[in-house]
Copies of this chain bind each other. A is one copy, B any other.
Amino acid sequence: MLDFEFFNPTRLIFGKSKHKEIGSLVKPYAKKILLHYGSGSIKRTGVYDDVVASLKENEVEFVELGGVVPNPRLSLVYEGIELCRKENIGFILAVGGGSVIDSAKAIAMGVPFDGDVWDLYVTRKEVEKVLPVATILTIPAAGSESSNSSVITNEETQLKLGYGSDKIRPAFSIINPELFVTLPEEQLAYGVCDMMSHIMERYFTNTLHTDLIDGLCESTLKTIMKNALLLKENYNNYDAWAEVSLAGNIAHNGLLGVGREGDWASHAMEHELSAIYDVPHGAGLAVVTPAWMKYVYKTNVPMFAQFAVNVMGVEGSLREPEDLALEGIKRLEEFFVKMGLPIRMPELGIDETNLELMAEMATGGNRGKESTIGKLKKLDKDDVLAIYKLAF
Protein backbone atom coordinates (compact mmCIF):
# COMPACT_ATOMS: atom_id res chain seq x y z
CA MET A 1 0.00 0.00 0.00
CA LEU A 2 1.21 3.50 -0.82
CA ASP A 3 1.12 6.50 1.52
CA PHE A 4 -1.87 8.76 0.95
CA GLU A 5 -4.04 11.60 2.16
CA PHE A 6 -7.81 11.48 1.98
CA PHE A 7 -10.09 14.41 2.66
CA ASN A 8 -13.73 14.52 1.68
CA PRO A 9 -15.73 17.10 3.61
CA THR A 10 -18.79 17.04 1.34
CA ARG A 11 -21.93 16.49 3.39
CA LEU A 12 -24.06 13.90 1.62
CA ILE A 13 -27.82 14.24 2.10
CA PHE A 14 -29.50 11.20 0.65
CA GLY A 15 -33.13 10.17 0.30
CA LYS A 16 -36.67 10.88 -0.74
CA SER A 17 -37.83 14.49 -1.21
CA LYS A 18 -34.51 15.79 0.15
CA HIS A 19 -34.12 18.34 -2.68
CA LYS A 20 -37.14 20.18 -1.30
CA GLU A 21 -35.07 21.10 1.77
CA ILE A 22 -32.58 23.06 -0.30
CA GLY A 23 -33.64 26.49 0.93
CA SER A 24 -33.00 25.81 4.59
CA LEU A 25 -29.72 24.07 3.72
CA VAL A 26 -28.43 26.99 1.67
CA LYS A 27 -29.57 29.71 4.04
CA PRO A 28 -26.68 29.46 6.54
CA TYR A 29 -24.23 29.98 3.65
CA ALA A 30 -25.67 32.85 1.65
CA LYS A 31 -28.59 35.22 1.14
CA LYS A 32 -28.11 35.39 -2.61
CA ILE A 33 -26.87 32.57 -4.83
CA LEU A 34 -26.31 31.54 -8.42
CA LEU A 35 -28.73 28.81 -9.51
CA HIS A 36 -26.92 26.90 -12.24
CA TYR A 37 -28.52 24.25 -14.42
CA GLY A 38 -28.60 22.64 -17.82
CA SER A 39 -30.84 22.59 -20.84
CA GLY A 40 -34.05 22.91 -18.87
CA SER A 41 -35.05 19.32 -18.10
CA ILE A 42 -35.34 20.35 -14.45
CA LYS A 43 -38.24 22.57 -15.52
CA ARG A 44 -40.03 19.67 -17.21
CA THR A 45 -39.55 17.35 -14.22
CA GLY A 46 -40.67 19.85 -11.59
CA VAL A 47 -37.34 19.91 -9.77
CA TYR A 48 -36.87 23.55 -10.73
CA ASP A 49 -40.22 24.49 -9.18
CA ASP A 50 -39.41 22.57 -5.99
CA VAL A 51 -36.05 24.31 -5.68
CA VAL A 52 -37.41 27.78 -6.38
CA ALA A 53 -40.25 27.27 -3.90
CA SER A 54 -37.84 26.18 -1.17
CA LEU A 55 -35.43 29.05 -1.85
CA LYS A 56 -38.25 31.59 -1.75
CA GLU A 57 -39.72 30.08 1.39
CA ASN A 58 -36.35 30.53 3.05
CA GLU A 59 -35.85 34.01 1.61
CA VAL A 60 -32.78 33.04 -0.36
CA GLU A 61 -32.42 35.29 -3.42
CA PHE A 62 -31.09 33.72 -6.60
CA VAL A 63 -29.83 34.64 -10.03
CA GLU A 64 -30.20 31.98 -12.72
CA LEU A 65 -27.78 30.67 -15.28
CA GLY A 66 -29.03 27.69 -17.30
CA GLY A 67 -27.78 26.28 -20.55
CA VAL A 68 -25.01 23.91 -19.44
CA VAL A 69 -24.56 21.16 -22.06
CA PRO A 70 -22.81 17.78 -21.82
CA ASN A 71 -19.05 18.34 -22.06
CA PRO A 72 -19.65 21.74 -20.43
CA ARG A 73 -18.33 24.76 -22.25
CA LEU A 74 -15.79 27.31 -21.12
CA SER A 75 -17.81 30.16 -22.66
CA LEU A 76 -20.68 29.57 -20.23
CA VAL A 77 -18.20 29.38 -17.36
CA TYR A 78 -16.93 32.84 -18.33
CA GLU A 79 -20.52 34.07 -18.44
CA GLY A 80 -21.16 32.65 -14.96
CA ILE A 81 -18.04 34.30 -13.56
CA GLU A 82 -19.09 37.68 -14.96
CA LEU A 83 -22.61 37.24 -13.62
CA CYS A 84 -21.46 36.33 -10.09
CA ARG A 85 -19.07 39.28 -9.99
CA LYS A 86 -21.71 41.70 -11.26
CA GLU A 87 -24.37 40.40 -8.84
CA ASN A 88 -21.95 40.03 -5.95
CA ILE A 89 -22.73 36.34 -5.51
CA GLY A 90 -20.68 34.11 -3.23
CA PHE A 91 -22.41 30.72 -3.41
CA ILE A 92 -23.32 28.48 -6.33
CA LEU A 93 -26.07 25.87 -6.38
CA ALA A 94 -25.72 23.36 -9.20
CA VAL A 95 -28.90 21.46 -10.06
CA GLY A 96 -28.02 18.83 -12.60
CA GLY A 97 -25.56 16.10 -13.52
CA GLY A 98 -21.79 16.11 -13.73
CA SER A 99 -21.67 18.72 -16.48
CA VAL A 100 -23.64 21.27 -14.50
CA ILE A 101 -21.62 20.55 -11.36
CA ASP A 102 -18.29 20.74 -13.19
CA SER A 103 -19.37 24.04 -14.72
CA ALA A 104 -20.36 25.32 -11.26
CA LYS A 105 -16.97 24.33 -9.86
CA ALA A 106 -15.23 26.19 -12.67
CA ILE A 107 -17.27 29.32 -11.97
CA ALA A 108 -16.57 28.93 -8.23
CA MET A 109 -12.84 28.91 -8.95
CA GLY A 110 -13.05 31.71 -11.49
CA VAL A 111 -14.94 34.34 -9.50
CA PRO A 112 -12.22 35.02 -6.89
CA PHE A 113 -9.36 34.20 -9.33
CA ASP A 114 -7.24 37.03 -10.63
CA GLY A 115 -6.63 35.69 -14.12
CA ASP A 116 -8.14 33.38 -16.74
CA VAL A 117 -9.73 30.34 -15.08
CA TRP A 118 -8.84 28.21 -18.11
CA ASP A 119 -5.16 28.63 -17.20
CA LEU A 120 -5.86 26.57 -14.07
CA TYR A 121 -7.03 23.67 -16.25
CA VAL A 122 -3.99 23.99 -18.51
CA THR A 123 -1.33 24.44 -15.83
CA ARG A 124 -3.03 22.48 -13.00
CA LYS A 125 -1.75 25.08 -10.53
CA GLU A 126 -3.30 24.87 -7.06
CA VAL A 127 -6.18 27.31 -6.74
CA GLU A 128 -6.14 29.64 -3.71
CA LYS A 129 -9.77 30.46 -3.05
CA VAL A 130 -13.02 28.92 -4.26
CA LEU A 131 -16.64 29.90 -3.68
CA PRO A 132 -18.67 27.23 -1.89
CA VAL A 133 -20.73 25.02 -4.19
CA ALA A 134 -23.71 22.82 -3.33
CA THR A 135 -25.43 20.37 -5.64
CA ILE A 136 -28.73 18.65 -6.25
CA LEU A 137 -27.85 15.65 -8.36
CA THR A 138 -30.19 14.82 -11.25
CA ILE A 139 -28.01 12.26 -13.08
CA PRO A 140 -26.05 9.59 -11.18
CA ALA A 141 -22.88 9.21 -13.21
CA ALA A 142 -19.94 11.55 -12.89
CA GLY A 143 -19.60 11.53 -9.11
CA SER A 144 -18.81 15.23 -9.31
CA GLU A 145 -21.23 15.85 -6.44
CA SER A 146 -18.50 14.75 -4.03
CA SER A 147 -15.38 14.65 -6.18
CA ASN A 148 -12.41 16.99 -6.26
CA SER A 149 -12.48 17.35 -10.02
CA SER A 150 -14.01 19.38 -12.83
CA VAL A 151 -13.72 18.76 -16.57
CA ILE A 152 -14.35 21.63 -18.97
CA THR A 153 -14.30 21.84 -22.76
CA ASN A 154 -12.83 24.87 -24.47
CA GLU A 155 -14.94 24.89 -27.59
CA GLU A 156 -12.64 27.32 -29.41
CA THR A 157 -9.64 25.03 -29.19
CA GLN A 158 -11.57 21.73 -28.93
CA LEU A 159 -9.61 21.01 -25.73
CA LYS A 160 -11.28 19.06 -22.91
CA LEU A 161 -9.23 19.33 -19.72
CA GLY A 162 -9.69 18.24 -16.13
CA TYR A 163 -8.71 20.02 -12.94
CA GLY A 164 -8.49 18.55 -9.44
CA SER A 165 -8.26 20.03 -5.94
CA ASP A 166 -9.87 19.18 -2.60
CA LYS A 167 -10.89 22.84 -2.46
CA ILE A 168 -13.54 22.30 -5.14
CA ARG A 169 -15.35 19.49 -3.34
CA PRO A 170 -18.94 20.67 -2.79
CA ALA A 171 -19.98 21.83 0.68
CA PHE A 172 -22.99 19.54 0.49
CA SER A 173 -24.77 17.44 -2.08
CA ILE A 174 -28.31 16.14 -2.21
CA ILE A 175 -29.02 12.79 -3.84
CA ASN A 176 -32.69 11.94 -4.14
CA PRO A 177 -33.05 8.71 -6.12
CA GLU A 178 -36.69 9.58 -6.89
CA LEU A 179 -35.41 12.18 -9.36
CA PHE A 180 -33.73 9.64 -11.62
CA VAL A 181 -36.78 7.81 -12.97
CA THR A 182 -37.42 10.65 -15.43
CA LEU A 183 -34.01 10.25 -17.07
CA PRO A 184 -33.85 8.95 -20.65
CA GLU A 185 -32.78 5.32 -20.50
CA GLU A 186 -29.47 5.95 -22.25
CA GLN A 187 -28.48 8.24 -19.38
CA LEU A 188 -28.60 5.26 -17.05
CA ALA A 189 -26.28 3.34 -19.35
CA TYR A 190 -23.85 6.25 -19.77
CA GLY A 191 -23.90 6.93 -16.05
CA VAL A 192 -23.26 3.32 -15.12
CA CYS A 193 -20.34 3.14 -17.52
CA ASP A 194 -18.88 6.38 -16.18
CA MET A 195 -19.05 5.27 -12.55
CA MET A 196 -17.67 1.83 -13.37
CA SER A 197 -14.82 3.52 -15.18
CA HIS A 198 -14.09 5.72 -12.17
CA ILE A 199 -13.62 2.54 -10.17
CA MET A 200 -11.71 0.61 -12.83
CA GLU A 201 -9.29 3.50 -13.41
CA ARG A 202 -8.36 3.13 -9.74
CA TYR A 203 -8.71 -0.63 -9.46
CA PHE A 204 -6.30 -1.67 -12.23
CA THR A 205 -2.94 -1.02 -10.63
CA ASN A 206 0.51 -2.46 -10.24
CA THR A 207 0.53 -1.47 -6.56
CA LEU A 208 0.65 -4.56 -4.37
CA HIS A 209 -1.00 -5.26 -0.99
CA THR A 210 -4.25 -3.47 -1.66
CA ASP A 211 -6.68 -6.02 -0.19
CA LEU A 212 -9.14 -3.63 1.38
CA ILE A 213 -9.59 -1.25 -1.52
CA ASP A 214 -9.56 -4.12 -4.04
CA GLY A 215 -12.47 -5.62 -2.17
CA LEU A 216 -14.36 -2.33 -1.90
CA CYS A 217 -13.87 -1.72 -5.63
CA GLU A 218 -15.04 -5.20 -6.52
CA SER A 219 -18.18 -5.11 -4.44
CA THR A 220 -19.05 -1.61 -5.66
CA LEU A 221 -18.68 -2.71 -9.29
CA LYS A 222 -20.88 -5.75 -8.66
CA THR A 223 -23.53 -3.61 -6.98
CA ILE A 224 -23.61 -1.24 -9.94
CA MET A 225 -23.97 -4.02 -12.51
CA LYS A 226 -26.61 -5.90 -10.56
CA ASN A 227 -28.76 -2.85 -9.95
CA ALA A 228 -28.31 -1.42 -13.43
CA LEU A 229 -29.76 -4.63 -14.83
CA LEU A 230 -32.62 -4.44 -12.31
CA LEU A 231 -33.38 -0.97 -13.67
CA LYS A 232 -33.45 -2.31 -17.23
CA GLU A 233 -36.26 -4.57 -15.99
CA ASN A 234 -38.08 -1.96 -13.91
CA TYR A 235 -37.08 1.65 -14.36
CA ASN A 236 -39.14 2.71 -11.33
CA ASN A 237 -37.20 0.57 -8.85
CA TYR A 238 -36.34 3.16 -6.15
CA ASP A 239 -33.95 0.89 -4.29
CA ALA A 240 -32.00 0.05 -7.42
CA TRP A 241 -31.60 3.77 -8.19
CA ALA A 242 -30.53 4.28 -4.58
CA GLU A 243 -27.85 1.58 -4.93
CA VAL A 244 -26.62 2.86 -8.29
CA SER A 245 -26.47 6.50 -7.20
CA LEU A 246 -24.76 5.80 -3.88
CA ALA A 247 -22.28 3.55 -5.68
CA GLY A 248 -21.67 6.28 -8.24
CA ASN A 249 -20.90 8.68 -5.44
CA ILE A 250 -18.45 6.35 -3.72
CA ALA A 251 -16.93 5.46 -7.09
CA HIS A 252 -15.50 8.95 -7.45
CA ASN A 253 -15.23 10.47 -3.99
CA GLY A 254 -11.61 9.34 -3.81
CA LEU A 255 -11.89 6.56 -1.24
CA LEU A 256 -11.53 3.77 -3.79
CA GLY A 257 -8.21 5.19 -4.94
CA VAL A 258 -6.37 5.51 -1.64
CA GLY A 259 -3.05 3.74 -1.18
CA ARG A 260 -2.70 2.72 -4.82
CA GLU A 261 -1.59 4.14 -8.13
CA GLY A 262 -4.53 4.80 -10.44
CA ASP A 263 -4.33 4.46 -14.21
CA TRP A 264 -6.67 7.02 -15.88
CA ALA A 265 -5.51 6.31 -19.44
CA SER A 266 -9.03 5.39 -20.55
CA HIS A 267 -10.41 8.70 -19.32
CA ALA A 268 -7.65 10.59 -21.11
CA MET A 269 -8.32 8.70 -24.34
CA GLU A 270 -12.07 9.23 -24.06
CA HIS A 271 -11.70 12.96 -23.45
CA GLU A 272 -10.36 13.29 -27.01
CA LEU A 273 -13.37 11.44 -28.41
CA SER A 274 -15.85 13.71 -26.71
CA ALA A 275 -13.77 16.84 -27.32
CA ILE A 276 -13.75 16.26 -31.10
CA TYR A 277 -16.96 14.29 -31.68
CA ASP A 278 -18.99 15.51 -28.67
CA VAL A 279 -20.03 11.94 -27.84
CA PRO A 280 -21.44 11.26 -24.38
CA HIS A 281 -18.59 10.58 -21.95
CA GLY A 282 -20.11 7.26 -20.80
CA ALA A 283 -20.53 6.07 -24.38
CA GLY A 284 -16.96 6.95 -25.24
CA LEU A 285 -15.72 5.08 -22.17
CA ALA A 286 -17.67 1.95 -23.14
CA VAL A 287 -15.77 1.94 -26.42
CA VAL A 288 -12.31 2.86 -25.17
CA THR A 289 -12.12 0.84 -21.94
CA PRO A 290 -12.38 -2.72 -23.32
CA ALA A 291 -9.90 -1.79 -26.08
CA TRP A 292 -7.52 -0.48 -23.42
CA MET A 293 -7.93 -3.72 -21.49
CA LYS A 294 -7.14 -5.87 -24.51
CA TYR A 295 -4.00 -3.83 -25.17
CA VAL A 296 -2.60 -3.71 -21.64
CA TYR A 297 -3.75 -6.86 -19.83
CA LYS A 298 -0.50 -8.73 -20.54
CA THR A 299 1.31 -6.18 -18.37
CA ASN A 300 -0.49 -7.50 -15.33
CA VAL A 301 -2.36 -10.71 -16.07
CA PRO A 302 -3.06 -11.53 -12.38
CA MET A 303 -4.83 -8.18 -11.90
CA PHE A 304 -7.09 -8.83 -14.88
CA ALA A 305 -7.67 -12.43 -13.78
CA GLN A 306 -8.71 -11.14 -10.34
CA PHE A 307 -11.12 -8.72 -12.02
CA ALA A 308 -12.55 -11.57 -14.09
CA VAL A 309 -13.10 -13.85 -11.10
CA ASN A 310 -14.06 -11.36 -8.38
CA VAL A 311 -16.09 -8.89 -10.43
CA MET A 312 -17.32 -10.62 -13.57
CA GLY A 313 -17.89 -14.02 -11.91
CA VAL A 314 -15.69 -15.94 -14.34
CA GLU A 315 -14.95 -19.51 -13.31
CA GLY A 316 -11.98 -21.44 -14.60
CA SER A 317 -8.49 -22.64 -13.89
CA LEU A 318 -6.20 -20.27 -12.05
CA ARG A 319 -3.41 -22.06 -13.92
CA GLU A 320 -4.65 -20.33 -17.05
CA PRO A 321 -4.95 -16.75 -15.79
CA GLU A 322 -4.75 -15.29 -19.29
CA ASP A 323 -7.90 -17.18 -20.27
CA LEU A 324 -9.61 -15.78 -17.18
CA ALA A 325 -8.44 -12.28 -17.98
CA LEU A 326 -9.72 -12.41 -21.56
CA GLU A 327 -13.03 -13.90 -20.49
CA GLY A 328 -13.41 -11.07 -17.95
CA ILE A 329 -12.93 -8.44 -20.65
CA LYS A 330 -15.45 -10.26 -22.86
CA ARG A 331 -18.00 -10.32 -20.04
CA LEU A 332 -17.54 -6.60 -19.47
CA GLU A 333 -18.27 -5.97 -23.15
CA GLU A 334 -21.31 -8.22 -22.90
CA PHE A 335 -22.56 -6.24 -19.92
CA PHE A 336 -22.12 -2.96 -21.82
CA VAL A 337 -24.07 -4.43 -24.76
CA LYS A 338 -26.86 -5.53 -22.42
CA MET A 339 -27.03 -1.96 -21.16
CA GLY A 340 -27.39 -0.75 -24.75
CA LEU A 341 -23.96 0.89 -24.81
CA PRO A 342 -21.77 1.14 -27.92
CA ILE A 343 -18.54 -0.85 -27.73
CA ARG A 344 -16.98 0.03 -31.11
CA MET A 345 -16.01 3.35 -32.70
CA PRO A 346 -18.38 3.12 -35.68
CA GLU A 347 -21.31 2.88 -33.27
CA LEU A 348 -20.27 6.37 -32.12
CA GLY A 349 -20.08 7.55 -35.72
CA ILE A 350 -16.30 7.80 -35.51
CA ASP A 351 -14.10 6.77 -38.44
CA GLU A 352 -10.31 6.73 -38.74
CA THR A 353 -10.00 10.36 -39.87
CA ASN A 354 -8.87 11.91 -36.57
CA LEU A 355 -7.23 8.96 -34.80
CA GLU A 356 -3.70 10.32 -35.20
CA LEU A 357 -4.72 13.74 -33.95
CA MET A 358 -6.62 12.29 -30.99
CA ALA A 359 -3.67 10.07 -30.05
CA GLU A 360 -1.37 13.08 -30.14
CA MET A 361 -3.74 15.23 -28.10
CA ALA A 362 -4.31 12.47 -25.53
CA THR A 363 -0.58 12.06 -24.94
CA GLY A 364 0.16 15.61 -23.92
CA GLY A 365 -0.74 17.50 -27.10
CA ASN A 366 -3.71 19.02 -25.28
CA ARG A 367 -1.38 20.64 -22.74
CA GLY A 368 1.35 21.50 -25.21
CA LYS A 369 3.98 18.95 -24.24
CA GLU A 370 4.45 15.32 -25.15
CA SER A 371 3.87 12.84 -22.35
CA THR A 372 2.71 9.31 -21.66
CA ILE A 373 -0.64 8.47 -20.10
CA GLY A 374 -1.60 5.58 -17.86
CA LYS A 375 0.26 3.94 -15.02
CA LEU A 376 -0.53 0.24 -15.27
CA LYS A 377 1.23 0.47 -18.61
CA LYS A 378 2.64 3.79 -19.73
CA LEU A 379 1.20 4.60 -23.13
CA ASP A 380 2.76 6.85 -25.75
CA LYS A 381 1.13 8.20 -28.88
CA ASP A 382 1.67 4.96 -30.83
CA ASP A 383 0.14 2.88 -28.03
CA VAL A 384 -2.91 5.12 -27.90
CA LEU A 385 -3.29 4.97 -31.67
CA ALA A 386 -3.15 1.16 -31.47
CA ILE A 387 -5.84 1.17 -28.74
CA TYR A 388 -8.10 3.46 -30.77
CA LYS A 389 -7.68 1.05 -33.70
CA LEU A 390 -8.50 -1.95 -31.47
CA ALA A 391 -11.85 -0.26 -30.83
CA PHE A 392 -12.99 -0.75 -34.46
Contact = CB atoms under 8 A, between A and B. Distances in A.
Interface of A: 1-9, 11-16, 18, 208-209, 211-212, 215-216, 218-220, 222-223, 226-227, 239, 242-243, 246-247, 250, 255, 258-259
A216 B3 CA distance: 22
B239 A1 contact: yes
Given A2-B15, A212-B247, A218-B219, 12 more contacts: A1-B243, A3-B15, A6-B14, A8-B8, A209-B242, A211-B243, A215-B222, A216-B216, A219-B219, A246-B258, A250-B255, A255-B255
A11 B7 contact: yes
B259 A14 contact: yes
B209 A215 contact: no
A11 B5 contact: yes
Q: How many copies does the complex hold?
A: 2
Contacts of A16: 3
Contacts of A227: 211
Nearest to A220: B212
Contacts of A5: 11-14
Contacts of A247: 212
A258 B14 contact: yes
A97 B130 CA distance: 36
Most buried by B among A11, A12, A211: A211
A135 B332 CA distance: 43
A212 B1 CA distance: 24
Contacts of A13: 5
A168 to B, nearest CB: 15
B220 A215 contact: yes
Contact of A242 (B1, B219, B243, B255): B1
Given A9-B9, A16-B3, A226 B211 contact: yes
A259 B246 CA distance: 10
A215 B211 contact: no
A180 to B, nearest CB: 14
B12 A6 contact: yes
A16 B219 CA distance: 28
Contact of A212 (B2, B212, B250, B258): B250
